[in-house]
Structure 1
Amino acid sequence: MKYIIKDEKIVFKDHYKMVKATITYDTFSGNQINTERLAFERGDSVAILVLEKETQSILLTNQFRYPSCKNGEGWLLEIPAGSLEENENPEDCIKREVMEELGYKLKTAELLTTFYTSPGASTERIFLYYSEISIKDKIAKGGGNTEENEDIQLIKIPVSEIISIIYEMKDAKTILALQWYLIHKIST
């Protein structure tokens, strides 16, 4: 099956951009569909599930999110995450984000998977990582990048509480990462 993207143009550009395209694609029945679609071009991101070994705690961020406040939930608990800069390696990006948000020096990170956040609307992919760190790796304050007006609180959730709090989570990448942990680290 094939598709053709024609007449692609930027219809909005600010911090992110929106692109509109005319597309022709093959159908499962052998026909073709001609249509217009929009894509929110946000860029790719990284996210990581971090376990602090000594405390057996998952390290989360608590921060204000404008889009979620539209539904009455201004602050969300999330795994650390951030946007890739142009030509940046995802592993370098996740190390930078963990330092900025949590203040921990990340030595290694295991890539778990790459996934789309909302493939019907957004081009964003997330590179999801896992790492185990030590209390000794906390070498900076964390709290976010002040130049980006970030105000991030570090929250430690004991592994023993994951099952009871997972249903309270509102962030998809965090839910996915916690489910991965339950399947691969708890049930083994």
Structure 2
Amino acid sequence: MTTRDMPADVVLFGTLTDPELLEIVLGDVAISQPVVLENHQVFTAAGESFPLLLPRDGVQAHGLLLEQLSHEQVARLDYYEAPYGYALEPVVLAGGREAQVYRPSDNQFEAAAPWELSVWQDQIGAMTREAAHEIMGLFGRITMDDLLRRLGPIRARAQARVNAKTDNIPVALRQSEGRDAVSLTSIRRPYSQFFAVDELDLSHPRFDGGTNQVERAVFIAVDASVILPYDPVRDTVMLIEQFRPAPYVRGDMNPWMLEAVAGRIDGGETPEESAHRETQEEVGLSLKELLSVANYYPSPGAFSEYLYCFLGLADIPDSAAGHGGLASEGEDIRSLVIPFETLMGAVRSGEVQNGPLLICALYLERERDRLRKAATDA
């Protein structure tokens, strides 16, 4: 047996000490035992959610020792840890036992607060496990460079699956039996980049008591926040205009669309956090308050995209209009500040062709008097 093929002992001190996540990454249950590393502590990486193991005199880091891992299991761990800049290094445990531990290979991260497994599990554990299923499904199929490009969409898709499970949606008019009544025979993913496509063979109960067997293709998008900024004192809104490839492909003679501010909900974000971030990134506005307009599937027959729509109350001076967007994401955004009545004129004329903006505009039309009175009284 060569050194490369010999069983390995690996020590984990961070997210992979979560039993569910570890089983997903390894593809199996490992032989393990608790372990302590003297003069070390686990911190949260500054500006991130993942942990760092760093030397600190007089304290102990508590972790998990995985024993006799196969070459395949170590390769799976390497694949999962590499995007974070982690690589295995030798470590000597209490009693002189030798093992390997993952550390940042380039020291690019600074330490923030001490990292706690229970806090991580409560905040983003579910999303991380969902993402790990998709990441490890790509093990051995794509390069690390390709994986790095896909991590953002993978985590956003994972967050969408978590939202779908945890959103408290009423069921009063629907008579369906729920998700458990659907039987999935097979699922294939022929395409996965920024978006993904799933091909499904499934059956579900019919309303007449029978069973419907169908083949369906679903375009996998992510959850997104939509925000219409509104200034109740000036009675103005901020819209954006940008080129959209889908209308262009359809043959639209003017593929520049009037829209509300919008953007995907990243992994680990709430819809509200995404709304504040996107509004700042796209148009440079800080919102005072978010009012929920509606949450919905724009086209559930073929798209998994789910939108959280908000009215965002803000100060919007005329000088707020301009150009924005993130160059790193290829965004070219024109923002414009217009009176409420101008917006509704564009709605009535048909110039507003964007569904989320239409919904937000109609909500504002309904609530406008109340919001203006509250702003005046304040």
TM-score, reference length from structure 2: 0.47
* Equivalent in the alignment of 2:57: none
1:92-141 Cα distance to aligned partner (Å, 9 max, x none)? 111111011111112331222210011001111000111211147x89x7
The 5-angstrom pairing of residues 35-46 of structure 1 reads 35-46=214-225
Instruction: From the superposition, tell whether residues 73 and 106 of structure 1 become closer, same or farther in structure 2 (CA, over 3 Å).
Output: same
Look up the equivalent residue of 2:260 and give its one-letter code.
I
* 1:7 equivalent among 172, 176, 186: 186
- Determine which structure has the larger helix proportion and give its number: 2
Look up the equivalent residue of 1:48 and give its one-letter code.
I
- Tell me whether 1:169 sits opposite 2:348 in the alignment: no
- Does the CA contact (< 8 Å) of 1:104 and 1:142 recur in 2? no
- Does the CA contact (< 8 Å) of 2:237 and 2:316 recur in 1? no
Instruction: From the superposition, tell whether residues 107 and 183 of structure 1 become closer, same or farther in structure 2 (CA, over 3 Å).
Output: closer
Look up the equivalent residue of 1:124 and give its one-letter code.
E
Segments ≥4 residues shifted beyond 6 Å: none
- Deviation of residue 184 (structure 1)? 2.4
Instruction: From the superposition, tell whether residues 5 and 186 of structure 1 become closer, same or farther in structure 2 (CA, over 3 Å).
Output: farther
- Does the CA contact (< 8 Å) of 1:84 and 1:90 recur in 2? yes
* Equivalent in the alignment of 2:254: 73
CA RMSD of aligned residues (A): 2.2
Quote the Cα distance in structure 2 between the aligned partners of 1:79 and 1:106: 14
- Deviation of residue 89 (structure 1)? 1.1
* 1:145 equivalent among 321, 326, 331: 326
* Equivalent in the alignment of 1:104: 285
- Deviation of residue 56 (structure 1)? 1.5
Quote the Cα distance in structure 1 between the aligned partners of 2:232 and 2:323: 19
- Deviation of residue 160 (structure 1)? 2.0
Quote the Cα distance in structure 1 between the aligned partners of 2:369 and 2:343: 10
- Does the CA contact (< 8 Å) of 2:205 and 2:211 recur in 1? yes
Quote the Cα distance in structure 1 between the aligned partners of 2:211 and 2:232: 54
Quote the Cα distance in structure 2 between the aligned partners of 1:6 and 1:106: 46
Quote the Cα distance in structure 2 between the aligned partners of 1:162 and 1:187: 18
- Does the CA contact (< 8 Å) of 2:236 and 2:316 recur in 1? no
More moved, 55-64 vs 1-10: 1-10
* 2:263 equivalent among 58, 64, 82: 82
- Tell me whether 1:131 sits opposite 2:290 in the alignment: no
More moved, 173-182 vs 52-61: 52-61
Look up the equivalent residue of 1:84 and give its one-letter code.
I
* Equivalent in the alignment of 2:105: none
1:2-56 Cα distance to aligned partner (Å, 9 max, x none)? 2222311212112100001111011111100111111111110000121124431
* 1:27 equivalent among 206, 220, 224: 206
1:109 is paired with a residue whose SS is strand
Look up the equivalent residue of 2:258 and give its one-letter code.
L
Look up the equivalent residue of 2:352 and give its one-letter code.
M
* Equivalent in the alignment of 2:235: 56
- Deviation of residue 171 (structure 1)? 0.6
Quote the Cα distance in structure 1 between the aligned partners of 2:344 and 2:308: 24
Look up the equivalent residue of 1:33 and give its one-letter code.
N
Quote the Cα distance in structure 1 between the aligned partners of 2:212 and 2:235: 52
Quote the Cα distance in structure 2 between the aligned partners of 1:164 and 1:176: 15
- Deviation of residue 185 (structure 1)? 2.0
Q: Which runs of 5+ in 2 are unaligned?
A: 1-176, 372-378
* 2:197 equivalent among 18, 39, 42: 18
1:41-98 Cα distance to aligned partner (Å, 9 max, x none)? 1110000121124431111001111111232222101000001111211111111110
Q: How many residues align?
A: 187
Q: Which runs of 5+ in 1 are unaligned?
A: none
Quote the Cα distance in structure 1 between the aligned partners of 2:266 and 2:207: 37
Look up the equivalent residue of 1:23 and give its one-letter code.
L
Using the aligned pairs only, state the percent identity: 23
Quote the Cα distance in structure 1 between the aligned partners of 2:233 and 2:327: 29
